[in-house]
Structure 1
Amino acid sequence: MKHIIALFCLALALTSCEGDQGIPGVDGVDGEVAPAFEIELDFNAANNYEITQTYGFTIVPSDVVLVYMSWETVDGTEIWRLVPQTQFFDDGGVLTYNYDFTDTDFRIFLDATFDLGVLDDVWTQNQFFRVVVVPADYINGLDIENYDDIIQATDIDNFETL
């Protein structure tokens, strides 16, 4: 019985102890989960068939930059494809839309097995891209090829126009 009373007193003492209250901190600012941009590009010889754009902020090394291209519209719905995207032509030529990124900027560019100057405007003018900077915590388990999954998982409501 003495042991039960001693254990009860010990449990009561431990659950009723509370340390000093710390200094209240400043409330944090809610930030975006994944900053997102939309950019319309015209590829030409003057810009060497590429564009480099800064984010306006520095991303952390674990962040992942994904670029999607508006590939076509079906029944009024835009179809977005993850870049790189490759187009094979009947004459054996290969065109690739590609990108790379650093912690301060990204570059979207064309690569081909032929002279890019012979491309029809449909492949080079008024091309729309969406760039999403995704924290690595959100990437795990997601199909990054699926544009809708990425947008939903990162709760993106709108795209800043660059």
Structure 2
Amino acid sequence: MKKILTLFAVAGLMAFSSCSSNDDDNDTISEVFQVRGVSFTPQNDYNPIIDLNPSIFPGDMVLVYRQDGSDGGAPVWKMAPELYYFADGTLDFGYNFNFTVNDVSIYMDGNDLASVSDQYRLNQTFRIVIIPGYVTGAAKSVNKADYSDYNAVIARYGIDDSKVKEVKVKN
């Protein structure tokens, strides 16, 4: 009986030792989509939808960045959610998002969105970054990117920023 238990234990150890602790998600190719001319209006309920074609994998993650001007000719990207407050500390408005495997919904939150300045509501540019969602192994926290920094994310995931794909807003 002891020999059978030992045999099972050795077989179990061999099976577990053959599992990989690779940090790569082999299903996902990290990529960036850019959508220009995004407007938040009552007609689209301050919630434009961007189709993802082809669809992403169920385990993928989506990060959204809004261009907030430029610095020396280089775009400045702010990660969503992005919130703006009144001087008294209450929320004025903000950008947020949710996603499915088929689309990304970027929406504005706030008490009176119609009163938000056109410079924040109309003709906005966003970057949608698709990255692997399943990170395995012990090293997952060692090489974690600073997701608030667009440039750190594209560097971490080896994305060629010169090959950003342009997409259109759905509504």
TM-score normalised to structure 2 length: 0.69
Q: Which one of 40, 43, 63 corresponds to residue 43 of structure 1?
A: 40
> What's the counterpart of residue 117 of structure 1?
114
- Give the aligned length: 131
* CA apart distance, 1:62: 1.9
> What's the counterpart of residue 129 of structure 1?
126
Q: Matched residue of 1:109: which SS?
A: strand
C-alpha RMSD of matched pairs (Å): 2.2
Kept in 2, the 8 Å contact 1:138–1:153? The answer is: no
> What's the counterpart of residue 63 of structure 1?
60
Q: Matched residue of 1:136: which SS?
A: coil
Runs of 4+ in 1 over 6 A off after TM superposition: none
Kept in 2, the 8 Å contact 1:59–1:103? The answer is: yes
Q: Partners in 1 of 2:91 and 2:99 — Cα distance? A: 26
Say whether 1:33 aligns with 2:34: no
Task: In structure 1, give the amino acid aligned to 2:152.
Answer: D
> What's the counterpart of residue 75 of structure 2?
78
* CA apart distance, 1:79: 1.2
> What's the counterpart of residue 149 of structure 1?
152
| Identical positions, percent | 28
Say whether 1:160 aligns with 2:165: yes
Q: Partners in 1 of 2:81 and 2:42 — Cα distance? A: 20
Kept in 2, the 8 Å contact 1:38–1:128? The answer is: yes
Instruction: Please list the CA deviations of residues 9-62 of structure 1 after superposition, one character each: whole Å capped at 9, or x if unmatched.
Output: xxxxxxxxxxxxxxxxxxxxxx98213210120111111111112211222222
* CA apart distance, 1:138: 6.8
Q: 1:138 to 1:160 in 2, by over 3 A?
A: farther
Q: Partners in 1 of 2:108 and 2:29 — Cα distance? A: 29
Task: In structure 2, give the amino acid aligned to 1:74.
Answer: D
* CA apart distance, 1:109: 0.6
Name structure 1 gaps, 5 residues minimum.
1-30
Task: In structure 1, give the amino acid aligned to 2:86.
Answer: F
Name structure 2 gaps, 5 residues minimum.
1-26
Kept in 2, the 8 Å contact 1:138–1:154? The answer is: no
Q: Which has the larger radius of gyration?
A: 1
